[in-house]
């Protein structure tokens, strides 16, 4: 079993291992995360202010509070832009400033806060959904040989057969990447220009954090009806849609 599930108690997962949730859940937790971050920094400033004020009277603590206010304001504007992009149907920032940039860090920090409330998997699921929505809209195209499908070892036979069938139809190579390290090695060796990765929410979060900044990735999460790390099911129609959408028409196999 992947170490992400070390604390699993052996009982069936909630919702049959389907962690779908409304997008607003992520935005609520992301706002809480940014507020907690600003609050933590404010507390630090509060504790350090007397010393810093003695060292640089006149400059501190006022400059620190102004910097904190500006930083918190920018964070709020950023989250607003991500939400407006998601709900408005148009990406308002370039990918380097959104799904392949600070949004990846925001997803991971928000996941940490969600863990404290026992909502980790749901929040991660929605964070990945939002990431995918933003990434798909970029309309990127690659050749068949430039796309790679990475799958985990926990797929059910039915899901595995379905993935292999889609990959065969579009002539896209498939690799089983049992751990993040292996996935990174496959990517280093094959040098794809885009990846469709399949994993549970927990594994996908680390995968996106490590890879999505360097390479365009779409992340398909799974359902875990029999608990973590076995018999995972996935949305094959979604996978085919992504594979077909990413492959440029000129390089599609003739029979498609």
Residues that bind ligand SF4 (CB under 6 A): 1-2, 4-5, 152-154, 199-200, 202-203, 224, 228-229, 232
Residues paired with residue 147 on neighbouring β-strands, in sequence order:
194
Cβ neighbour number for residue 63 with a 10 Å cutoff: 12
Tell me the closest approach of the beta carbon of residue 10 to ligand SF4, in angstroms: 14
In terms of CB distance, is 171 or 235 closer to ligand SF4?
A: 235
As a whole number of angstroms, the distance between CA 102 and CA 142 comes to: 25
Tell me the closest approach of the beta carbon of residue 142 to ligand SF4, in angstroms: 24
In terms of CB distance, is 2 or 192 closer to ligand SF4?
A: 2
Cβ neighbour number for residue 25 with a 10 Å cutoff: 16
As a whole number of angstroms, the distance between CA 247 and CA 238 comes to: 14
Give the residue at shortest CB distance from ligand SF4: 2
Tell me the closest approach of the beta carbon of residue 171 to ligand SF4, in angstroms: 25
Tell me the closest approach of the beta carbon of residue 219 to ligand SF4, in angstroms: 11
In terms of CB distance, is 98 or 199 closer to ligand SF4?
A: 199
In terms of CB distance, is 5 or 109 closer to ligand SF4?
A: 5
Q: For residue 36, what are its two tokens?
A: 């907690």
In terms of CB distance, is 152 or 216 closer to ligand SF4?
A: 152
As a whole number of angstroms, the distance between CA 207 and CA 198 comes to: 10
The length of the chain, given as a count of residues: 256
Tell me the closest approach of the beta carbon of residue 135 to ligand SF4, in angstroms: 20
Q: Per-residue DSSP letters for 183-234?
A: HHHHHHHH--SEEEEE--HHHHHHHHHHHTTTS-EEEE--B-TTSTTSSBB-
Identify whether the C-beta of residue 234 lies closer than 8 Å to the C-beta of residue 121: no
In terms of CB distance, is 157 or 191 closer to ligand SF4?
A: 157
As a whole number of angstroms, the distance between CA 187 and CA 256 comes to: 26
Tell me the closest approach of the beta carbon of residue 179 to ligand SF4, in angstroms: 8
The residue among 114, 107, 61 whose CA lies nearest residue 82 is 107
Tell me the closest approach of the beta carbon of residue 147 to ligand SF4, in angstroms: 20
In terms of CB distance, is 5 or 65 closer to ligand SF4?
A: 5
Tell me the H-state helices in 6-119.
23-55, 62-88, 102-116
């Amino acid at each position: 079993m992947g170490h992400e599930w070390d604390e699993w108690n052996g009982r069936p997962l909630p919702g049959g291992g389907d962690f779908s949730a409304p997008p607003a859940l992520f935005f609520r937790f992301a706002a809480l995360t940014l507020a907690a971050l600003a609050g933590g920094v404010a507390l630090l400033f509060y504790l350090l202010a007397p010393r810093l004020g003695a060292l640089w009277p006149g400059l501190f603590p006022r400059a620190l509070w102004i910097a904190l206010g500006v930083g918190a304001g920018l964070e709020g504007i950023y989250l607003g832009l991500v939400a407006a992009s998601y709900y408005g149907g148009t990406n308002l920032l370039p990918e380097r400033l959104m799904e392949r940039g600070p949004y990846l860090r925001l997803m991971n920090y928000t996941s940490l806060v969600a863990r404290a409330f026992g909502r980790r998997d749901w929040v991660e699921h929605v964070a990945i959904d939002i990431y995918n929505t933003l990434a798909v809209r970029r309309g990127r195209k690659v050749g068949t040989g430039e796309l790679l499908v990475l799958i985990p070892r926990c797929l059910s036979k039915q899901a595995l057969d379905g993935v292999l069938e889609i990959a065969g139809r579009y002539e896209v190579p498939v690799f089983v990447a049992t751990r993040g390290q292996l996935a990174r090695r496959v990517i280093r060796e094959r040098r794809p220009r885009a990846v469709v990765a399949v994993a549970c929410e927990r594994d996908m979060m680390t995968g996106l954090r490590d890879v999505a900044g360097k390479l365009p990735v779409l992340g398909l999460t799974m359902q875990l009806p029999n608990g973590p790390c076995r018999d995972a099911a996935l949305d094959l129609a979604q996978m085919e849609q992504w594979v077909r959408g990413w492959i440029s028409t000129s390089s599609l196999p003739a029979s498609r």
